[in-house]
């Protein structure tokens, strides 16, 4: 006897002796035509090979059938294909295929009238340019003749366009009928395991599916086959007054925030400036021999001798071409943004990993930070912090600060529960559990997040140079402004080498 588990600790008997129960479940799932689908499902489930069945209702009703059966992820592709087929069919039978060509002819005729008037004026004034106008008129008349031939050819192609649309519609209908029963049987299997899947057919869902499909078909056919029939569905009815009011509201909000929050933004700027000045003293003012030796040693300890040799070659390239000071300035700016992002991101990720509600609030904010174009969020940063290095640090943090949070959450949630339960059973405290179990096991994911934050921060050096950040990004920006290919390529390789050095140090891969 074969059974299948369902939520609630019950089991559904799917053996031959319980065929009536299975038919009842199919009736409950489908709401109609249970006997037909019971036979089809039995045929499909009787073999592991592909079983060919054809659902006439699905082929006739098309996307509406798939919508009624809660299969919209398949219904939408079929809807698009049917819409294309119907558009081609209606264009070929009823559409004006030469409307664009006739518009071109009308434009040329207007130009032709103007040239004839100019020719008459030139003849009346005995102007020597009359011959030029005559040649221009002959050229335009010849062009009209050629375009009229194109219009006739376009009109003659209507039958073939209609035939292609009809052929595509037939192929789509055939595919819908063949795939329908198999897709519905898979949906039924999912429903047996999880009753949260929607089932049955309701009048509201049927009307919604039919209305949606009819709307898509009607709008597409009207727009492509009969241009200008429904202008309201082609151009969105925008309201400029709303846009102007929104602009005024945003400007007022920023003015209010800047005036009343000046102390807050000054405090943040001061804190960033302290860290940035300290790192600039470390990277820029320290003799190059000391810094190069430290970087090479760190790379060798973290990634091995081969990586240390490559690092020495990269640093030689940076120094010999005169980019040393700018590279160190870039590293100071990058280090400030990365340090602040990591110091905020790792603890925040630790909190979010054990507090799903907090993560549900933080995740949309991080999605916004990652998807919003950098040039857009630079606008409020400049409004609040002005231009210069602190604003560049904040812009870099917004762009590159999210991976460390996400990967910290991922790493801590990936710690096996049986390991944590064993530690708790042996009397581990929360602090011991965090420092000796969770963080060591999640360390690879956390380090990957740190690495990604550093890499994304380094990717912002060129954009940050737009708002006053010094360093290698400034050279690349100048190369873009003055089309200096050589300078841009050389500075770009410096940024690349800095990224490779940091990547090897942070990853610690000795292979």
The domain boundary residue, chosen from 119, 139, 156: 156
pLDDT at position 8, please?
43
pLDDT in tens, 50-83: 778 898 888 999 899 888 888 888 889 999 999 9
Does residue 261 lie within any of the structural domains? no
CA distance 397 to 242: 33
pLDDT in tens, 349-407: 989 888 888 988 988 888 888 888 777 878 888 888 887 788 888 888 888 888 889 99
SS3 321: coil
86 & 189 share domain? yes
301 & 391 share domain? yes
Does residue 407 lie within any of the structural domains? yes
The residues, any chain, with a CB within 8 Å of residue 76's CB and separated by 6 or more, are 63
Sign of the CA dihedral with 36 first, then 42, 45, and 47 last: negative
pLDDT at position 9, please?
43
Does residue 338 lie within any of the structural domains? yes
Does residue 22 lie within any of the structural domains? yes
Q: Terminal CA-to-CA distance of the chain, rounded, Å?
A: 55
Question: pTM score, two decimals?
Answer: 0.66
Does residue 255 lie within any of the structural domains? no
Does residue 254 lie within any of the structural domains? no
pLDDT at position 169, please?
92
pLDDT in tens, 174-221: 999 999 888 888 888 888 888 777 777 777 888 888 899 888 888 888
151 & 165 share domain? no
Mean pLDDT for the stretch of residues 411-420: 86
Pick the closest to residue 84 from 171, 3, 146 (CA basis).
171
Exposure string of 46-63, with b = 16+ CB inside 10 Å and e = fewer, is eeeeeeebebebbbebbb
276 & 221 share domain? no
78 & 112 share domain? no
Pick the closest to residue 402 from 359, 444, 369, 357 (CA basis).
369
**Is residue 4 predicted with pLDDT exceeding 50?**
no
C-alpha angle 439/441/443, rounded to 5°? Answer: 60
pLDDT in tens, 8-51: 444 444 454 466 677 788 877 877 777 888 888 888 877 777 77
At residue 128 the predicted structure's pLDDT band, cuts being 50, 70 and 90, is low
Least confident of 2-6, 270-274, 296-300, 385-389: 2-6
Name the H helices within 372-438: 374-385, 389-400, 402-413, 417-425, 430-433
Does residue 253 lie within any of the structural domains? no
Domain of 127, in residue numbers: 99-156
pLDDT at position 2, please?
44
Number of separate domains in the chain: 3
213 & 312 share domain? no
> Domain of 420: which CATH number?
1.10.3720.10
pLDDT, greater one: 510 or 170: 170
Pick the closest to residue 414 from 393, 435, 430, 437 (CA basis).
437
pLDDT in tens, 155-171: 777 788 888 889 999 99
Least confident of 8-12, 108-112, 186-190, 488-492: 8-12
CA distance 207 to 222: 22
Backbone φ and ψ of 7, nearest 5°: -55, 145
Sign of the CA dihedral with 187 first, then 189, 194, and 200 last: positive
135 & 179 share domain? no
pLDDT at position 509, please?
60
pLDDT at position 256, please?
86
Does residue 474 lie within any of the structural domains? yes
pLDDT in tens, 452-469: 888 888 777 777 777 777
Backbone φ and ψ of 386, nearest 5°: 75, -165
**What distance lies between CA 192 and its chain's CA centroid?**
34
48 & 139 share domain? no
pLDDT in tens, 281-325: 888 888 888 888 888 888 888 778 888 888 899 888 888 888 888
C-alpha angle 219/224/229, rounded to 5°? Answer: 65
114 & 218 share domain? no
220 & 360 share domain? no
381 & 495 share domain? yes
280 & 181 share domain? no
pLDDT at position 173, please?
93
pLDDT at position 508, please?
65
């Amino acid at each position: 006897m074969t059974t299948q588990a369902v939520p609630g600790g019950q089991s559904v008997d799917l053996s031959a002796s319980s065929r009536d129960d299975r038919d009842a479940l199919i009736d409950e799932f489908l709401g109609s035509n249970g006997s037909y689908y019971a036979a089809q499902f039995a045929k499909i489930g009787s073999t592991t090979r592909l079983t060919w069945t054809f659902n006439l209702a699905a082929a006739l009703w098309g996307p509406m059938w798939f919508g009624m059966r809660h299969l919209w992820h398949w219904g939408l592709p079929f809807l698009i294909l049917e819409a294309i087929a119907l558009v081609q069919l209606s264009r070929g039978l009823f559409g004006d295929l030469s409307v664009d060509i006739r518009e071109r002819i009308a434009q040329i005729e207007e130009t032709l009238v103007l040239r004839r008037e100019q020719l008459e004026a030139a003849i009346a004034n005995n102007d020597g340019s009359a011959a030029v106008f005559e040649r221009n008129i002959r050229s335009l008349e010849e062009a009209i003749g050629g375009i009229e031939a194109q219009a006739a050819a376009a009109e003659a192609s209507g039958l073939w366009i209609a035939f292609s649309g009809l052929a595509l519609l037939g192929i789509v209908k055939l595919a819908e009928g063949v795939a329908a029963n198999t897709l519905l049987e898979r949906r039924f299997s999912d429903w047996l395991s999880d009753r949260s899947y929607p089932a049955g057919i309701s009048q509201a869902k049927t009307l919604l599916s039919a209305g949606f499909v009819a709307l898509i078909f009607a709008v597409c056919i009207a727009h492509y086959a009969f241009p200008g029939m429904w202008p309201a569905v082609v151009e969105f009815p925008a309201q400029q007054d709303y846009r102007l009011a929104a602009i005024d509201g945003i400007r007022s909000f920023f003015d209010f925030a800047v005036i009343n929050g000046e102390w807050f933004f000054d405090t943040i700027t001061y804190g960033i400036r302290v860290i940035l000045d300290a790192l600039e003293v470390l990277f820029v003012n320290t003799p190059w021999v000391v810094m190069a030796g430290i970087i090479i040693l760190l790379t060798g300890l973290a990634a091995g001798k081969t990586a240390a040799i490559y690092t020495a070659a990269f640093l030689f390239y940076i120094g010999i071409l005169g980019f040393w000071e700018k590279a160190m300035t870039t590293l100071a700016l990058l280090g400030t943004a990365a340090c602040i992002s990591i110091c905020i991101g790792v603890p925040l990720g630790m909190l979010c990993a054990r507090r799903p509600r907090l993560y549900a609030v933080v995740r949309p904010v991080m999605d916004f930070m990652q998807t919003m174009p950098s040039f857009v969020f630079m606008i409020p940063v400049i409004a609040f912090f002005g231009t210069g290095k602190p604003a560049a640090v904040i812009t870099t943090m917004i762009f590159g600060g999210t991976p460390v949070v996400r990967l910290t959450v991922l790493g801590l949630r990936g710690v096996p529960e049986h390991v944590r339960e064993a530690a708790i059973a042996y009397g581990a405290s929360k602090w011991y559990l965090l420092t000796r179990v969770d963080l060591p096991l999640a360390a690879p994911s956390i380090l990957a997040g740190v690495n990604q934050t550093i890499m994304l921060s380094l990717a912002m050096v060129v954009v940050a140079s737009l708002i006053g950040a010094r360093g290698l990004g400034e050279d690349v920006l100048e190369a873009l402004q003055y089309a200096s290919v050589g300078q841009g390529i050389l500075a770009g390789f410096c940024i690349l080498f800095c990224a490779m050095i940091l990547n090897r140090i942070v990853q610690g891969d000795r292979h």
